[in-house]
Amino acid sequence: MTNKCDLGCSNCTRLLVNQDKHWDMKPENFRLALQSLRGYPGTIAVIGGNPCMHPKFEELCRIFAEEVPDKAQRGLWTNNVFKHAELSAETFGVFNLNPHNSKRGITSLAPLKDLGWYHPGHSDYSSLLAAIQDLYGPVEMWERIGRCDINQNWSASIVEVRGTLKAYFCEVAASFDLARNGDHGMEVTPGWWERPLSDFHSQVDRFCPGCGVPAKVKGHLDHEEIDTYSQTNADLADKSVKKKKRKTVEVDRNNFESVVDLPVTAYSSYLRQQGPQIFVVTPYHKESIEVLRRCHESVMNQQISARLTHVMIADGHPREEIEDWDVLHVRLPREHGDNGNTPRAVGSILAETNGAEFIAFLDADNWFYPDHLASTLQAMHQTGASVGCSWRDYYGPDGQQLPIFEQEEMELRHVDTSCIVLASPAFEVTRLWSSMPRILTPWCDRVFITGIRHRRHMQCYTRKKTVAFTTIYTRHFEGLNLPAPANSKMPPDAEMMAYLQSAAGVQETVSRMGFWPLAI
């Protein structure tokens, strides 16, 4: 609707500080834009800049209600509604509210914050101006473009260019065209949004290689007024320096920092107010606060619309810093030395009694990729399975990815605990965390997945690596001819196998868990 905004965020996906002049969509064009979307089944949102700064916002709200009768389809994306809180509540049924921690915006949005997605803190943007073509070769560039966050999870866009409506397959493509005073959008005609992506190939070829979204380069918090760019977009970086006296940081393929595990825009945890209720249970022991924060942020940055609760359970060594995080923090009075089984048992009970529809597990030194929960729940929905399973990538304690291949996992014979999501029909299997004999806890994931199969819970597999697993197993480093870390370990396989093959082991496992792990 407009490119006017009362803020000027670093690495803004609308490239507002990089545009040469202000513009507002004409009411007659706004009506035509809505008419072109008749039959569209999803949310139709007004964005900016700040839509509420359009000088004819009230008139456009009236037009919106006339052309889109279903209020549930009408969306407002804004950081400040100014005097329009009551009108906005009457007009819109979907809200994406992000005051960027501005006191004025927070006050303005207070009457609306419970009506939709609300992000009260600062937002962390990866760089829009660090062009992927400057940082990767052609093959990897197009592979990354194919996985682009915006293309998969955001929206197409209609804007006004020189008084005429133009449509873009991607809202960021529209931003780049506006910033360079271009006119490469598609003519807006009824049903344009139903055309195949092949009709937009000229836009893809023009805008995607010069865009930073698929490159996932570390950017800055919204309020820092620093734009990170690469040579392709030096002209746009210069604009922000001249117009706003912004700071800029140039990167190339030798010095950029990747944030591939984060979405392009990491909002506050309030993003997931709607959707299924998911609890993620994390036991922790003596991990560093940096490792714990990485784990927690990977949960909060899941690209899924859900009511998401992260349960972090201290196994005898609580960290005070966690009290300030958006977690359900539980302190066990002493450590249990059972590979996290007791904390997982406690966390599972809390999840179930608090209305969880799904329970996932994530060890403290591991982390989720952004699409882990979404892809796993999608597979469970498609198959009707009550247990969803993914694969994992392997990392050393230093964060370096390791080329490890586990045949058992690829053949679906083993699943790590952090790769498992349970639906409510399978919650009863969480009792295994407390009933498992202590001697078997180094094999806790193997015993757990065996229990799932013994109870005949249907499993499905995404066959995607969506979990980052930190290994300290000696055999992994020996297999790569790498020095093992100081805290590396070898599980007592021989001792556990001897126990399972003994009469006492058979009797105890069947008595406590209802099955003998070697029978599956």
Neighbours of 154 (CB within 10 A): 16
Per-residue pLDDT, averaged over 75-87, amounts to: 94
| pLDDT for res 269 | 46
155-169 tens-digit pLDDT: 899 999 999 999 999
Who wins on pLDDT, 223 or 264? 223
Q: CB of 171 within 8 A of CB of 137?
A: no
Q: Half-sphere exposure of residue 206, counting CA atoms within 13 Å on the CB side?
A: 18
169 secondary structure, DSSP code? S
Q: Which amino acid is at 9?
A: C
Share of the chain above pLDDT 70, in %: 97
Say if residues 417 and 361 touch (Cβ distance below 8 Å).
Answer: yes
Give the pLDDT score at 261. 59
Q: Is the pLDDT of residue 321 over 50?
A: yes
Q: Is the pLDDT of residue 152 over 80?
A: no
Residue 399 has pLDDT above 80, yes or no: yes
For tokens 């499993």, name the residue.
459
| 3-state class (DSSP) for residue 427 | helix
301 Cβ contact list (under 8 Å, min separation 6): 262, 263, 266, 370
What sections of 396-443 are H helices per DSSP?
407-410, 432-435
Decide: 315 and 284 in contact? Cβ < 8 Å. Answer: yes
Q: Is the pLDDT of residue 393 over 70?
A: yes
Q: What is the pLDDT of residues 215-242, one digit of tens each?
A: 888 877 777 888 889 999 999 988 878 7
Q: Retrieve residue 111's tokens.
A: 């009457």
How many CA atoms, within 13 angstroms, populate the side-chain half-sphere of residue 14? 23
pLDDT at 126 over 90: no
State the pLDDT at residue 271.
41
What helix, strand, coil percent values describe the chain, rounded to 5?
40, 20, 40
pTM across the whole model = 0.55
Confidence of residue 268 (pLDDT cuts 50, 70, 90): very low
| CA–CA distance, 416 with 391 (Å, rounded to integer) | 8
Q: Which ranges of 5-130 does DSSP label H, i.e. alpha helix?
A: 27-35, 57-67, 85-91, 103-109
Please, which residues bridge with residue 308 across strands? 278
For residue range 448-493, list pLDDT tens digits in order.
999 999 999 999 999 999 999 999 999 999 999 999 999 899 989 9
So what's the pLDDT on residue 270? Answer: 40
Mean pLDDT rounded to a whole number for the chain: 91
Predicted confidence (pLDDT) at residue 264 exceeds the cutoff of 60 = yes
Element (H, E) at 240: helix 234-244
**What confidence tier does 266 reach under pLDDT thresholds 50, 70, 90?**
low
pLDDT score at 190: 94
18 confidence band (pLDDT: 50, 70, 90): confident
What angle do the packed helices 27-35 and 57-67 form, to 10 degrees? 20
